[in-house]
């Protein structure tokens, strides 16, 4: 089972933009209750999609540059990157089935 990768402003380009596979990035913060509700779903997705989709987490408080670069104004925000481009954005808590449907349509 794969675990989400922790990414930062410093590692974002290598881990996400230059990744060989699609990358789902969870923009979150420790003080955000919906982020905490979404965390186990994101962990499950990392395990289920394994080598097909890399799942990453970015703490917006510790890494404001990347969050600002992608216009993340509300959290949780999930952005799917494919070939270095942001191709799908989901803002706010979503049930697992809805997230899987979006992922399945893109990977």
State the burial class of residue 33 (Cβ atoms within 10 Å of its Cβ: 0-12, 13-18, 19+): exposed
CATH topology assigned to domain 5-101: Glutaredoxin (3.40.30)
Per-residue HEC secondary structure of 10-62 comes to CCHHHHHHCCCCCEEEEEECCCCHHHHHHHHHHHHHHHHHHHHCEEEEEECCC
pLDDT number for residue 35: 97
Percent of the chain with pLDDT over 70: 99
Q: Which long-range contacts (CB under 8 A, 24 or more apart) does 94-98 make?
A: 94/38, 95/41, 96/41, 96/44, 96/45
Q: What is the pTM of this model?
A: 0.95
- What pLDDT, in 10s, does the model give residues 4-34? 999 999 999 999 999 999 999 999 999 999 9
Q: Where are the domains of the chain?
A: 5-101
Catalytic positions, written as ranges: 32, 35
Evaluate whether 27 touches 21 at the Cβ level (below 8 Å).
no
- Token pair 């999930």: residue: 78
pLDDT band of residue 50 (cuts 50, 70, 90) is confident
């Amino acid at each position: 089972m794969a675990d989400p990768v922790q990414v930062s402003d410093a590692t974002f380009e290598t881990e996400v933009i230059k990744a060989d596979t699609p990358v789902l990035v969870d923009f979150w913060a420790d003080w955000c209750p919906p982020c905490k509700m979404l965390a186990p779903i994101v962990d499950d997705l990392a395990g289920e999609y394994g080598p097909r989709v890399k799942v990453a987490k970015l703490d917006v408080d510790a890494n404001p540059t990347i969050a600002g670069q992608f216009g993340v104004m509300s959290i949780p925000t999930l952005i799917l990157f494919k070939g270095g481009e942001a191709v799908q954005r989901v803002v706010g808590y979503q049930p697992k089935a809805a997230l899987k449907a979006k992922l399945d349509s893109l990977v």
